[in-house]
Chain A
Amino acid sequence: MSGMLEFDERQARAVEAMYQNPDVTGQRSEVLRRLELRAGEAVLDIGSGPGLLLRDLALTVGASGRAVGLDMSAPMIDIAKRRCEGLGQVAFEQGQAEMLPFPDAAFDAAVSTQVYEYVPDMALALRELYRVMKPGGRILILDTDWDSLVLHTNDRARQERILKVWDEHLADAHLPATLSPKLRAAGFQITRREIIPLLNPEYHANCFAAGILDGIRGFVAGRSGITREEADAWAQSLRDLGARGEFFFSINRYVFQAVKPALK
């Protein structure tokens, strides 16, 4: 799996802060609503990160249910564990999406948000997901397609070079565009596809765009011909646009829901 999922403690904290932003909090409640969990169900969160969604999943399935968080990153699991303290239905494992450490037909529902775009072998990861789902089990996958980014700039050529380098941080920066046939090939029946847009038409220090743009700046600086000065200048130019009321950012998250067909 990509090294980009191996966060140190500082990076894990940065992700946690970004995910507590109102833009992402809204997305999380949408995900929870669409999963339609019932009390007593077993639910898996692949790439549970700082555990914000996992905690909500656990509270929804209740003490008679089970909410399992799988993550590659020990610092992320530490944060998530503290967040879910006192919830006996929560368990964590450190593991990989392509090699799930669960028996066949273990889960009623599974969710994975902003994770599969980092996974190199999606065919294998989806076969594994199919295996651990009960017949009739529901899955929800949410990922960004970076082709959907709209980001106003006064230097389009520079920004295009920077965003091209940013694509390198993902195994597939455009996964949603090809996810439907991949789900079907794994045996899933697709039930619903939707967009959750993220729109930041103004710049604020705590908007989602501010967090992700700083992440982009940090990643591209000194990589593939982008100098630190150039990356900093790009980020500064966006903040300057913000100060003049000329900032504009939007990106789409694509939600795929599917089921493992029930036994006939």
Chain B
Amino acid sequence: MPDTHMQSSRIDPKLLEILVCPLTKSALEYDAAANELISRKAGLAYPIRDGIPIMLPDEARRLPDTNAG
């Protein structure tokens, strides 16, 4: 059910202030369209499921090299 999933996945903006990449401790960008938290430094995109950020590198999507670094 991707539609309902997206609906309930809206992230609390205040939450972003206290979230960093668990690997690099650098700030994250919120990609609202993909519903992911992007760590440019680590080259990873952390998914958000049901509004819960999944801050596990093993579950993150590797960004294409052009976007990393």
- A residues near B, CB below 8 A? 42, 66, 68, 72, 74, 77-78, 81, 91-96, 99-104, 106
Contact = CB atoms under 8 A, between A and B. Distances in A.
Given A68-B18, A91-B12, A103 B25 contact: yes
Contacts of B50: 78, 81
Interface in B1-44: 12, 14-15, 18-23, 25
B49 interface: yes
B60 to A, nearest CB: 11
Contact of A99 (B14, B49, B57): B57
Contact of A103 (B18, B51, B57): B18
Interface string B51-62: 111111100000
A94 B51 CA distance: 11
Kindly list the 10 A-B residue pairs having the minimum CB-CB distance in the complex, ordered from nearest: A101-B55, A95-B55, A99-B22, A101-B22, A94-B54, A91-B15, A103-B20, A93-B53, A93-B55, A92-B52
Contacts of B57: 99
Contacts of A100: 22
13 contacts: A42-B18, A68-B18, A74-B49, A77-B52, A81-B50, A91-B12, A91-B14, A94-B52, A94-B53, A94-B56, A99-B57, A101-B19, A101-B21
Name which of B18, B19, B50, B54 has the most chain A CB atoms within 10 A of its CB: B18
Interface of B: 12, 14-15, 18-23, 25, 49-57
Given A93-B19, A103-B25, 14 more contacts: A68-B18, A72-B56, A74-B49, A81-B50, A81-B51, A93-B55, A94-B53, A94-B55, A101-B19, A101-B20, A101-B21, A102-B18, A103-B20, A106-B18
Contacts of A92: 52
Given A91-B12, A99-B23, A66 B53 contact: no
B31 to A, nearest CB: 16
Determine chain A's interface SS by DSSP, over half rule: mixed
A124 to B, nearest CB: 12
A68 to B, nearest CB: 7
A47 to B, nearest CB: 14
A96 B21 CA distance: 12
B24 to A, nearest CB: 10
B55 to A, nearest CB: 4
Nearest to B49: A74
Contacts of A78: 50
B10 to A, nearest CB: 13
Given A91-B12, A99-B23, A81 B18 contact: no
A93 B54 CA distance: 6
Contacts of A77: 52
B48 to A, nearest CB: 10
A99 B59 CA distance: 14
A66 B12 CA distance: 12
Contacts of B22: 95-96, 99-101
